[in-house]
Amino acid sequence: MLSPRTHARFALAMISCLIGALAEFVHAQPGSVVVTHVVEREVNVGHRVVGTVMPIQSSTVGTAVDGRVMEYLVNLGDAVTNRQPLARLRTGTLEIELKAAQAEMTLRQEELREFQNGSRPEEISEARARMLAAQAIRQNALSRLTRQEQLLHRKAINPTELDDAKERAEAASQSLLALQAALSRIESGPRTEQIAQALARVALQEAKVQLIEDRILKYTIYSPFDGFVTAEHTEVGEWVSNADPIADVIALEQVEVLCNVPAEQAVRLRRGRDVRIEFQELSGEVFTGRIEQVVPIADSRTRTFPVNIRLQNRMNDGRPVLMAGMLARAVLPTGDRTVMPLVPKDALVLNGSRRYVFVVEPAAAGESSATVRVVPVTLGVSDAGLVQVDGALKAGDVVVVRGNERLKHGQDVLVSVTAESDTSVAD
């Protein structure tokens, strides 16, 4: 009778055998692949130069006002987005000023609304009643003046009493005229000039509010673009003055590789040409960029010309694959022209320092699947989305461009799609 330990070892051995058999079975099944043809055309032989990865944008973000740092919202290395706050300065006094200015603006707006709405019916009725009362008083004064004149004619009163009656009648007439004018003014409503003045007072106060709001906005310092924080220049509680730096931000969505190129190579370069770039830390990937600029002035010490090569970066787990300051080796198409084989970037399999492609051998008569063989290659220049290779390849050979990640030498494959040989499958 077997012991429990022996039973366990036997079970593990059986599981290992089953896993191995399953792997052999899977490997034996033909995989579906996409292929294309190797092309040959005349290209320039490549020359290798060393360069440095530089950010496409770099900014030292400063403050436009004086103040004390209330919040510092980022850390060294943080990813930031365009208009994301980096720091905030204290704004207590400005916020009080803003509330006062907003209250004053409300007052001015209500004054304008009062003018625009015109006189209320009650005001018109009140003014008309006062005018009618003044009219009655005048009528009464005129009647008394007539009686006084008659009495003076009969010598029943002295001339002084008649003068008093005339004065009261004249005062009543003037009062009536004033109240008639007031009624007309109230019925007509505010003058156009008064409304214009009220509008101007509202506009002036709105501008004052906007000015304070703009000042408050300047107390928050924002990132000017998407990127990464590479330096911190202040901390919470520190006093900063106008133009003092707050943080350094660099953009790495795209990067430039800056190379210094001898004159005999610089004169052969053209803007927009493809360039293959190698990174020792990323030996398992193929990178291609385009020449952005050949600066037409040499360094007086080295007699070399700066060349900017721009390439697209990508993020891996939130971090850029290509980082500023990395060493790059660019393969510039500046050598003699010769006919060489080229393949799409996706045809290349990179395994450490090894570079190879899978060439598809035609299926034998009566067989449905073909086989692949490994062909080691060395890489040359990049040209119009293709990469020049040197190896046992010739024009017309069929190479795998998709589905080659797990192929092995001699494995059976099913060709499902044939890509155009001059397309940029990988680019």
Within 36-190, where are the H helices?
Answer: 92-117, 121-153, 159-188
> Binning pLDDT at 50, 70 and 90, where does residue 223 land?
very high
Both tokens of 385, joined, read 């989305």
| Strands 31-37 and 412-418, bridge-based pairing | parallel
pLDDT in tens, 317-330: 989 999 999 999 99
Q: Is-contact 54 322, C-beta < 8 A?
A: no
Q: What percent of the chain has pLDDT over 70?
A: 90
Residues ≥6 apart with Cβ < 8 Å to 314: 320, 321
pLDDT for res 12: 53
| Least confident residue range of 4-13, 228-237, 377-386 | 4-13
Instruction: Report the residue count for the chain.
Output: 427
Segment holding 255, helix H or strand E? strand 245-262
Q: Can you give the pLDDT at residue 28?
A: 44
Phi first, then psi, for residue 394 (nearest 5°) are -145, 165
* Per-chain mean pLDDT for the chain: 88
pLDDT range class, residue 374, cuts 50, 70, 90: very high
Q: What is the reported pLDDT for 123?
A: 86
- Name the pLDDT band for 375 (thresholds 50, 70, 90): very high
Q: Using CA atoms, how far apart are residues 311 and 272, in angstroms rounded to an integer?
A: 11
Cβ proximity of 396 and 353 under 8 Å: no
Please say if the pLDDT value at position 244 is more than 90. yes
pLDDT for position 225: 97
Please give the pLDDT value at position 366.
Answer: 53
Chain-centroid distance, C-alpha 51 = 29
Q: So what's the pLDDT on residue 63?
A: 96
Least confident of 206-215, 229-238, 364-373, 380-389: 364-373
139-190 residue pLDDT tens: 999 998 898 888 888 888 888 888 888 899 899 999 989 998 888 888 888 8
Residue 6 has pLDDT above 70, yes or no: no
Q: How far apart are CA 143 and CA 169, in angstroms?
A: 9
118: pLDDT strictly greater than 50: yes
Three-state secondary structure readout of 155-213: CCCCHHHHHHHHHHHHHHHHHHHHHHHHHHHHHHCCCHHHHHHHHHHHHHHHHHHHHHH
The band of 8, judged by pLDDT with boundaries at 50, 70 and 90, is low
Q: What is the pTM of this model?
A: 0.68
- Long-range contacts at 231-236 (CB < 8 A, ≥ 24 apart): 231/60, 231/76, 232/72, 232/74, 232/75, 232/76, 233/60, 234/69, 234/72, 234/87, 235/69, 235/72, 236/69, 236/70, 236/71, 236/72
Distance of CA 378 to the CA centre of its chain: 41
Point out which residues pair with 52 in neighbouring strands.
258, 327
Query: What is the average per-residue pLDDT within 84-102?
Result: 95
Tell me how far apart the alpha carbons of residues 33 and 326 are, in angstroms, rounded to a whole number: 35
